[in-house]
Amino acid sequence: MVASLSPDVVVATEPQAGVVGPSLRREFDVDILEPGTGMRPDVSVGNDSGCAVLTLPMGEEPLAPEQIRTQVERASGGGGSGTPVAAAQICVINQTVSLSVNPYARSATLADVSSYRSRIPDRWWTASTIHLSTALRAGFTTTRVQTDDGDAQFVGIGTSNADLGVGTTAETAHATLVAVYSNGAIDVSEIDPRQFGLRGVPEIGPARFETLRNAGITTVGELADTPLRELTDLSGLGRTSANTVRTAAEARATDSVLPTGDDSLPNQDPVFIDIETDGLHPSTAWLIGVLDGGPEDGHYMSFRERAVGDGSHLRAFLTWLTGAATGRPVVAWNGYRFDFPVITDQLRQHHPELVERWTDRYQFDALWWATTKNGGNAALPGRTNKLEHVAEALGWEPSTNGIDGATVAALYTAYRSQVAGATGAGTTAEPDWDRLERYCEDDVRALATIYEHLDTAARQDAELKTPTGENSSQGSLADFS
Amino acid sequence: MTDTDTPRSKHVTAPNTSLLPDGGTAHHRGILSESHLKESFPEWREQIRHSERLNAQSAETVAPGSVLRDPIASRLGHDLYSHQAEALDLLAADENVVITTSTSSGKTLIYQLQIARNHLASEAATALCLFPTKALTNDQEQSVNDRLRGELGLDTHVGTYDGDTKDERKQTVRENANVILTNPAGLNVYLPRHSNDRGWHRFYSNLELVVIDEAHEYGGVMGTHVAWILRRLRRVLAHYDSDPQFVITTATIGNPATHAATLTGAEFSVISEDGSPRGTRDIVLWEPPLNREALEGCDDGSGDLVEGFEQARRSSAREASSVTAHLAVNGIQTLQFTTARQGTEIGAKQTIEAVTDHPRHRHIDVEPYHAGLGKRKRRAVENQLKGGDLDAVISTNALELGIDIGSVDATVTDSYPGTKQSFWQQIGRAGRGTSDALSVLVGGKDAMDAYILDNPGYLFDADTVEDAVVSIDNDRVFADHLLAAAAERPLTAADAPYLGGDDRFREMTAMWQDAGLLEQAGGLDAGGVTYTGARRPQSRISLYGTTGTDYEVICTNGEIEHDPVATERAYRDYHEGALFLHAGQQYEVTEVDHSRPHPRIQVTEVATTRYTQTLSTKQVHNLEVTDHTPLAGGYDSYFGTGTVRITYESYMVRDYRTGELIDGPLPTETPPLDLHTELLWVSLPEDHLRTTINALGVPLLEPTERAGDDPRVPMEQARYTYAGGLHAAEHGIIQLAPLELMIDNHDIGGLSTPSHPHETIPGPTWFVYDGIDGGIGFSKAIYDHLETLAARTRDHIADCECGRRRGCPLCVMSEDCGNNNDPLDTATGTMILDDLVAAFDTR
C-alpha cells in the first residue's frame, strides 16, 4: 500500500502507533512521523510539493521556528534555499486536539485548542497552515475554530475517543490518505489496504498474490519489471494475459496510460458529460455537466432542472448538442452503463419525442474503450478505475473539498424530499447549487484529463509496443525500430 | 389527561372471607377449604393468610349493528362487549384509544375491526401492528388472518415482518400487505427504508392505523427506546402526509393515558370499563411457615442475618410445589409460575416429590416450561395442557403473555411477580371465559411479598394500580435516535415537535454538527441537515441499554438465548465467577471481555445450589438540582442529575437453601463504572443524628464483626445505629417502590450517608438513583411519589413480623445490597421515615 500510494510522509497513529515505524522503515525510504514522541519536532519536507510536515513533540514547549528551519534544511537535502519554512505550506500534526461530545450537556467541543495555539509560532498562525490531529477521527474536519487571534480549522487524521453514539462503527479505521493540494485544498479519504499494490492489479487474486510475494515480487514496480517468462511460470497465466498484467502493473507503477490495443479514439472533438442523479438506481438526472474543450481551457456548462421533477433541462441539453455540437461524440466515463441509459430513460419520461435524437447521437464510453473494447485498449493508472482515482494518478486536482457523487445524490434527495413534503410555497431552502455544480465540473475536467492521456496512448502504435523486459514504453519502441 | 387515568375495576370483592367457606359450590374451591386442608395437606400449619372471592360478572353487550356498518356487522357472528363498542365509537370519531381492560376481554377484536372498517373505506388502507415478542406476533398473524379473511371475508393481505421472515417473503409483504405485524426493534431498523423502497412507500403513505399491543411492556430502558422509535415513525409518516390513529392495549396500569402519550407523543382516550363476562374467581394468599425459634436462635448480633432467615422459613418454591401437588392430586389442572432461583425442572421434580408425601397420592403428569426449551417441546407442552393431558405445568413467566394454552383450573404463583399487572396476567390463565377459577399466591422472601400478605387490599384495590414508568428525558438515548432520524430523512425545523421540542432538538442537532456526524453546512431552517456518519446508525442502537454498548452472552458448553446485557448490569451481575439463572438454567460467568468493540460475556451451564451476591462501593458527585420540594422543619427532597461512581469490587458465594456463606468476599476485578444519571436525595436536618439517637427508646446497636473490617461503616455505636436507620429507610423505599410504580428495582440503586459535601445537604442524606446511564425515569417517578412511598414503607418496616432490629428480607434486607445488608436498624429507620412523613404533612 505504501509503495503504491508513495506518500511523502507516513504518520503513525493509535492504536499501536509504536509498531508502524520499525515495520515500515525496513522496507521503505519514507519519513515516518509519530506525534507526541521525542523531545524535538519531527520534520519532513515533501519531495516536490514544497510542503513541510511537522509534528509536535512531547511536552508543552512552543515550537522554535529557528530550530525547525535547520531541520527542514537538513531534511530537504540542505539546499539552503533561503527560508524554506516561511515559503512552504506547513502542516502541523498534533495528538492532543480532540473532540469531546457530551450528550447530557448537548455539546461537542474541541479540547486542548488553546494549549495547542500557544505552541504554534504566531507567524504560522495563518490560513496557509494546516492543522492536523491524530486524536480526531479521519474524515472529520472541524468548522473553523475561533481563537483570540484568528481562527483555524482542524483536520482529523487518526482515531477519536469521543462518544459518537451510533454515528460511528466500532471497526478499526483503515489507513487514511491525506492529500494536500497546492491550492490548499485537502482531501481525506479512507483506504482499504486490501485493495492495494499487487492486489489492485487485474488478475491478481489472493492465491497469485501469495505466489508472487513468495517469489519476492511485492510491488507493482517489481511486477512490471518481472520478465514475461518468469511471470507466466509463476502465475500460470498465458503469455497474452501475463503481458496484460505486466502492462497494467507498469501503468500503475509509472502513473501513466499505456496502450494495449489497436483501436483508435473518435476523430472529432469530444463533448464531455457527467450527470448527477439521486443514487445508483436513479430516477432523475437533475444535473448534466458538459465540458466543451480540454481539461484546462474547456468551457463548462451546467444543465440543471429548474424545479424538482421538471425535465426542461434535458431539452435544453439536447438543443445545445444539436445546435452547437453537431456530429461530435458525447463522451462519458462508464457512460454505457450509467449516464447514457439514464439520460435515455429520462427523455422517455419527459420528452419522448427527443429520445431518437439522443440515441442516434455518437455516444462514447471512455472507460469501456480503455478496459473492454476488443480486450481493452489502454492500461490505466490509479488504485481503481474510478474516474477520480485514474485522473488523480495523472495529476488532476479537484477544486471541491469533502464531497463525492454519493454525497451529492444524498443532498439532492434530501432537497427533493423537503420539496415533496412542503405544504406551502417558499418554505424550502435550496442546497448550495454552485458547490454541487463545481463538483460536477471537477468530474468532467477529470474526464477530459484522462481522455487526453488515452489519446496520447492511442496515437502510439500499439503494434510496435511489445514489451521485452525494459520498463518503459520508449525502450520497447526502440527495440523495434 | 390525569382525570382519565383512573381505571374503574369491575372486581367485586366479598368481605370477611378469611378462609374459604367449606363445601363451596364449585368443587375446586372446596379443595382449599380449611377442613379439607387440615385433613389432607401434609404439615398443615394454617398457611392461608387471606382469601378473596371475586364474584362472577355477566357480560355487557351491544349489538354489532349499532356500532358497525354492514357487511362487517352482519358477518360478525356475535355481539360486542360494551368496551369494544365504546372503543370503536371513539375510533370512528378520530380519537386515539388506549384500552386497559382485563386479560382475555377481547382487546384485539377492537383493532381487528378497525382495520376491517378502514379496509372497506379504502382498499389501499394499511395498518402497522407492534408486539413485544416474535412469538406473540406469530400468534397474532394467525388471529388477524382468521378474523379479516375468514370471518369477515375481506381480501386483506396480512404479513409478519421481522427477523425471522425470509427475504423473498419480506418483499411480498412490503409490496402487498395491508397489515404488517412486527416488533419495535424491527421497526427501528426497517424505518430508514421508507425512502428507497416502493413497497414501504406505499405502506406508509396509506397508513391509517398503528397498533401497539401489550404497551405496559414498554417501560424502563426498552420503553425509552420505543418512545423514540415511535416518534421517528410519526415524523416519517408526517412526510408522507399520513396521520394514522393509534390503538394501544395494555394490562391494567394506573396511568394509561399518560403512558400512551409518553410512548407516542399523541393524545389518547382511555377505555377501562370492562364489559366482558367472567366466572367466580377465588384468590388465596399463602404464606410459607416461619420457624420463629430458629430465627431467634441465630439472631445473636454477630452471625449472618440473611443466613438465619433462610434457614428459618420454608422456601416458597417448595411450598408452592406442595400446593400445586395438592391441587393436582385432587384433579385440578394447575399452572404454577415460578420466579424462584431454582428452575422449572426442579419445580417439577419437587411437585412429584410432594405428591408422594400427600395422603391421596396418585400418579400425576407434570412438565416444566420455559423459553429455553426448544420450540417443538414448548408446542408439545402447550398442546398437552390444552388437551388436558397434563395435571400440572411449572412455568416461568414465558406463559404469562398471550400464548394460547386454553385455560387451566388453577394457578399457583411462587413469589409475587413484581407488578400487579403481571400478577393478574398470571391468574388470568385460570378459568378463561365464564368458568370458575382458583389462584394461589405463595409469598416469597422479599419486602414486596411481605407487604402484600400483610395488606392484601393492595392487590384487590383498584386505586392502587401501578403507574407505568417511561421517560424520554435521557439525552444520550435521544442523541442516538436523532442520528437515526437524520439518516431516515434530513432534519428540518418542522421535526422539532416529534424530536424533543424546539430547544432540545436544536441543541442536539448543533452538537452532532460540531462533532461532524451531521452536515456542518446544513441548516434546520434552510435546506435541512443531512446525516454524514457511518451507514445505518439504527443498526447500532441497542434497545437493552442507553449507552449503545451491550454485552453479548455466549454459552461455551450449551445453548443460551439471552438478551444482550446493558453495561451497568454486566458490571454488577455478570462479573467473572457470578452465578445467575436464566430460563430455568443456572450459569456461571467464566470470562468477561470489556475491551472488544462488541463486548461479550462467556458463561457455562452449571448446576449448583449456590448464588452470588456482589458487593460495591459508591460515590455520588457532580450533583445538579433540577427540582426541589422543600418540606417542613429543615427537611428537603431533591431531584436532579449527578455522577455515581460504582466499584463492584467483590462478591460472596452463598447457598440458596440455607443462605450459608460458602466463599468470599472474592475480587470481581471489574473496573469502576461512572454513571451519569438521574437521582433523588432526601436531605435531613444537620443535627438529625443527635436528635434521633436521643429520642431512641431502645439500646444502640453493637457493630458487627464484619463492619469492623469495612472502613465505610462507622464503628461508634450511635453513628453505627443511625447509619443503620438511614440505610434501612433507603432500602425500604426502593424495595416497596414497585407497589406504586411499574419499575424494576434491580435498575435502581441507593446510597445513604451521614454527610455529603453538596450545598443542598447540611446533614444526613440518602440517594436513590437510576442504575442506567442517563436515567430512565425511575428515580423521577419515585421522587414524584415519595410521600406515599415513605408512609407505606414506614408502616411496613414498623410492622414486619420479623420484629428484628436488623430486619429481614421481608422488610429492609435486599439481595442487591452492595454492603452485605450492614448496618441496618429498623427502629431508627422507622423514626427517620416518621420524621420525613411528618415533614411532608406539615409542609
Residue with cell 508513495: A6
What single-letter amino acid sits at A9?
A: V
Mean pLDDT of chain A: 78
Are A107 and B517 within 8 A, CB to CB? no
Q: What are φ and ψ of residue B192, in 5° steps?
A: -60, -20
CB atoms within 10 A of CB A281: 8
Give A285's contacts (C-beta < 8 A, 6+ positions apart). Answer: A275, A276, A277, A314, A339, A342, A343, A346
3-state class of B704 per DSSP? coil
Shortest alpha-carbon distance between residue B534 and chain A (Å): 5
Of A111, A104, A110, A166, nearest to B643 (Cα)?
A104
Residue B504: list chain A partners with CB under 8 A: 106
pLDDT value of residue A476? 34
Please name the helix (run of DSSP H) or strand (run of DSSP E) that holds residue B783, with its range, or none: helix B778-784
Q: Are A408 and A276 in contact (CB under 8 A)?
A: yes
Quote the CA–CA distance of A99 and A107 in Å, as a whole number: 10
Q: Is the pLDDT of residue B190 over 50?
A: yes
DSSP at B653: E
Of A324, A323, A303, nearest to A313 (Cα)?
A303
Sign of CA dihedral B44, B46, B51, B56: positive
DSSP assignments along B488-526, one per residue: HS-B-GGGTTTTT-HHHHHHHHHHHHHTTSB-TT-BTTT
Residue A103: list chain B partners with CB under 8 A: 475-476, 478-479, 508, 511, 774
Q: How confident is the model at residue B445 (pLDDT cuts 50, 70, 90)?
A: confident
Residue with cell 454505457: A336
More confident residue, B8 or B582: B582
Tens of pLDDT, residue by residue over A108-156, are: 988 888 888 888 888 788 777 888 888 888 878 887 777 777 778 888 8
Tens of pLDDT, residue by residue over B448-484, are: 888 899 889 888 887 778 889 999 999 999 999 999 9
Which of the residues A166, A277, A438, A439 would you substitute to probe the B interface, choosing the one with the greatest number of B C-beta atoms within 10 Å? A166
C-alpha angle B90-B94-B100 in degrees, rounded to nearest 5? 40
More confident residue, A380 or B559: A380
- Beta-bridge mates of residue A186: A180
Q: Are A133 and A96 in contact (CB under 8 A)?
A: yes
Which of the residues A104, A133, A141, A161 would you substitute to probe the B interface, choosing the one with the greatest number of B C-beta atoms within 10 Å? A104
Q: Helix/strand/coil (H, E, C) string of B271-308? A: ECCCCCCECCEEEEEECCCECHHHHHHCCCCCCCHHHH
Give B707's contacts (C-beta < 8 A, 6+ positions apart). Answer: B713, B715, B720, B822, B823
Residue B479: list chain A partners with CB under 8 A: 103, 106, 165
Of B211, B231, B217, nearest to B99 (Cα)?
B211
DSSP at B658: T
Q: Are B654 and B609 in contact (CB under 8 A)?
A: no
Q: Are A322 and A314 in contact (CB under 8 A)?
A: no
Are B528 and A109 within 8 A, CB to CB? no
Residue A137: list chain B partners with CB under 8 A: 516
More confident residue, B186 or B804: B186
Q: Is the pLDDT of residue A83 over 50?
A: no
Quote the CA–CA distance of B774 and A431 in Å, as a whole number: 36
Q: Can you list the domains of chain A with their CATH numbers?
A: 2-193 (no CATH), 196-254 (1.10.150.20), 271-459 (3.30.420.10)
Of B475, B480, B598, the CB nearest to A106: B475
Tens of pLDDT, residue by residue over B661-719, are: 888 789 988 889 999 999 999 999 999 999 999 998 888 888 888 777 777 788 889 99
Are A410 and B530 within 8 A, CB to CB? yes
Of B222, B20, B316, B41, nearest to B744 (Cα)?
B222
- Beta-bridge mates of residue A53: A44, A91
Are B479 and A411 within 8 A, CB to CB? no
Per-window interface: B 699-738 vs A, CB < 8 A: none
Tens of pLDDT, residue by residue over B507-530, are: 999 999 999 899 887 789 877 888
The mean pLDDT value for A367-376 works out to 88
Of A33, A333, A73, A21, nearest to A178 (Cα)?
A33
Residue with cell 537535502: A77
Determine the angle formed by the axes of helices B134-145 and B107-121, rounding to 10 degrees. Answer: 60
Shortest alpha-carbon distance between residue A392 and chain B (Å): 24
Of B195, B479, B516, the CB nearest to A417: B195
Tens of pLDDT, residue by residue over B784-840, are: 999 999 999 999 999 888 888 888 888 899 878 888 888 999 999 999 999 999 999
For chain A, say whether B545 makes contact (Cβ under 8 Å): no
Are B527 and A101 within 8 A, CB to CB? no
Give start and end residues of each alpha helix (H) in A89-197.
113-119
Number of residues written out for chain A: 481
3-state class of B840 per DSSP? helix
pLDDT value of residue B10? 35
pLDDT value of residue A118? 85
CA-based max dimension of chain A? 76
Which of the residues A140, A161, A164, A411 would you substitute to probe the B interface, choosing the one with the greatest number of B C-beta atoms within 10 Å? A164
What single-letter amino acid sits at B527?
A: G
Of A172, A154, A151, nearest to A111 (Cα)?
A154
Residue A428: list chain B partners with CB under 8 A: 527
More confident residue, A323 or A68: A323
pLDDT value of residue B284? 93
Q: Is the pLDDT of residue B81 over 70?
A: yes
Minimum mean pLDDT range among A79-88, B32-41, B423-432, B547-556: A79-88
Q: Helix/strand/coil (H, E, C) string of A118-129? A: HHCCHHHCCCCE
More confident residue, A180 or B474: B474
Of A99, A167, A170, the CB nearest to B483: A167
Q: How confident is the model at residue B202 (pLDDT cuts 50, 70, 90)?
A: very high
Shortest alpha-carbon distance between residue B574 and chain A (Å): 23
pLDDT value of residue A16? 67
CB atoms within 10 A of CB B830: 22
Q: How confident is the model at residue B133 (pLDDT cuts 50, 70, 90)?
A: confident
ipTM score: 0.78
Q: What are the distances in angstroms from CA B451 to CA A278, B53, B809?
A: 64, 20, 11
Are A171 and B597 within 8 A, CB to CB? yes
Provide the grid cell at B597.
468493540
Are B517 and A162 within 8 A, CB to CB? no
Residue with cell 530537504: A76
Number of residues written out for chain B: 843
Shortest alpha-carbon distance between residue A153 and chain B (Å): 12
Quote the CA–CA distance of B128 and B210 in Å, as a whole number: 5
Closest residue on chain A to B197 (Cα): A281
Helices vs. strands in chain A: H and E counts, helices first: 17, 20
For chain A, say whether B541 makes contact (Cβ under 8 Å): yes
Give B55's contacts (C-beta < 8 A, 6+ positions apart). Answer: B12, B14, B280
The radius of gyration of chain A's CA atoms, rounded to the nearest angstrom, is 25
Closest residue on chain B to A168 (Cα): B534
pLDDT value of residue B305? 59
Give A30's contacts (C-beta < 8 A, 6+ positions apart). Answer: A2, A6, A7, A8, A9, A10, A24
Quote the CA–CA distance of A59 and B155 in Å, as a whole number: 75
Q: Is the pLDDT of residue B218 over 70?
A: yes
Shortest alpha-carbon distance between residue A155 and chain B (Å): 11
Quote the CA–CA distance of A216 and A198 in Å, as a whole number: 12
Quote the CA–CA distance of B68 and B116 in Å, as a whole number: 10
What residues of A are in the B interface, CB distance below 8 Å? 99, 101, 103-104, 106-109, 137, 139-143, 156, 162, 164-171, 279, 407, 410-411, 413-415, 417-418, 420-421, 428-432
Per-window interface: B 671-690 vs A, CB < 8 A: 676
CB atoms within 10 A of CB B718: 17
Q: How confident is the model at residue A217 (pLDDT cuts 50, 70, 90)?
A: confident
More confident residue, B571 or A146: B571
The mean pLDDT value for B27-40 works out to 73
- Beta-bridge mates of residue B639: B627, B680
**pTM for the structure as a whole:** 0.76
Tens of pLDDT, residue by residue over A263-311, are: 888 888 999 999 998 777 777 889 999 999 888 888 999 999 888 878 8
Give B763's contacts (C-beta < 8 A, 6+ positions apart). Answer: B683, B684, B685, B686, B687, B688, B689, B754, B755
C-beta pairs of A401-407 under 8 Å, 24+ apart in sequence: A401/A185, A401/A186, A401/A187, A402/A141, A402/A187, A402/A188, A403/A435, A403/A436, A403/A439, A405/A276, A405/A443, A406/A279, A407/B532
Residue B548: list chain A partners with CB under 8 A: 165-166
Share of chain B above pLDDT 70, in %: 92
Quote the CA–CA distance of B268 and A403 in Å, as a whole number: 46
pLDDT value of residue B583? 67
Q: Are B541 and B188 in contact (CB under 8 A)?
A: yes
Q: How confident is the model at residue A174 (pLDDT cuts 50, 70, 90)?
A: low
DSSP at B106: -
Q: What is the dihedral of CA B497, B502, B507, B511, to 10 degrees?
A: 30
Q: Helix/strand/coil (H, E, C) string of B127-176? A: EEEECCCHHHHHHHHHHHHHHHHHHCCCCCCEEECCCCCCHHHHHHHHHH
Q: Is the pLDDT of residue B372 over 70?
A: no
What single-letter amino acid sits at B547?
A: T
